Amino acid sequence: MTSQLQRAVDLAAAQNPRRYVITGGPSSGKDDLIEAVIAAGLPCMEAEPGREIYRKHRERLGRHLRKEDRRAYAAEVLDAFVAEYVGHTAGIRFYNRGIPDGYGWEGFFGLRPSPDLEDATARYRYDTVFVLDPLDRFEDADDIVWAKEREIRRVHELVVQGYYDAGYEPVFVAPESAAARLDFICANLRLPKPDRNGD
């Protein structure tokens, strides 16, 4: 990390918590950006808790999660996100998805937001939400959208809508390299850019 960025992070560490969400649908390049955030030395939630919880529920059910299975799953994911949120008490922290992602998840499966999700969304607020627009083009050369890409697009837009429903005004991060995206995010947060010369 550059001394400037390090100083900014150290300075913020003694101050009130500042929470920044990085989110987006599949194929948004989120994992690459999270890796870049961590490599830059910025405090960041590494693994999205939904992964392990999903694996556990799928293993228990022996099949994919149907609509009727989703409430229990969503409640557990919400608990994990709330724990992540309250566990951070000072300084900067980036989040691999945030609590309002639940609106997108539940909407994708035709469920209305649960009261617990609405309550947690109102109580635990993030400072800035960065939405990564998908890296892949949605349409092919013939201007025909594939079924799979329609689903990916649908998930992504429902996640975005979830943040609007939750009262956020997300910052959209254009589909670029992870390094360029991180530079954009740092500039938006008035943080020094990470140095990539090994200094």
- Contacts with other proteins, residue ranges (CB under 8 A): 25-27, 30-31, 48, 50-51, 54, 63-67, 103, 105, 107-110, 112-113, 133, 138, 140, 144-148, 150-155, 157-158, 160-161, 164-165, 169-172
Shortest distance, position 36 Cβ to other proteins, whole Å? 15
Q: Which is nearer to other proteins, 57 or 88 (CB)?
A: 57
Two tokens, residue 74: 């969503």
How far apart CA 160 and CA 8 sit, in angstroms, is: 29
How far apart CA 150 and CA 43 sit, in angstroms, is: 34
How far apart CA 53 and CA 75 sit, in angstroms, is: 10
Two tokens, residue 79: 């608990």
Shortest distance, position 23 Cβ to other proteins, whole Å? 10
Q: Which is nearer to other proteins, 10 or 136 (CB)?
A: 136
Q: Which is nearer to other proteins, 20 or 103 (CB)?
A: 103
Q: Which is nearer to other proteins, 133 or 195 (CB)?
A: 133
* Closest C-alpha among 82, 73, 137 to residue 105: 73
Q: Which is nearer to other proteins, 14 or 141 (CB)?
A: 141
Shortest distance, position 155 Cβ to other proteins, whole Å? 5
Shortest distance, position 147 Cβ to other proteins, whole Å? 5
Phi, psi of 35 (to 5 degrees): -60, -40
Shortest distance, position 77 Cβ to other proteins, whole Å? 8
Q: Hey, what amino acid is at 187?
A: A
In three-state form (DSSP H/G/I as H, E/B as E, the rest C), the secondary structure along 148-178 is HHHHHHHHHHHHHHHHHHCCCCCEEECCCCH
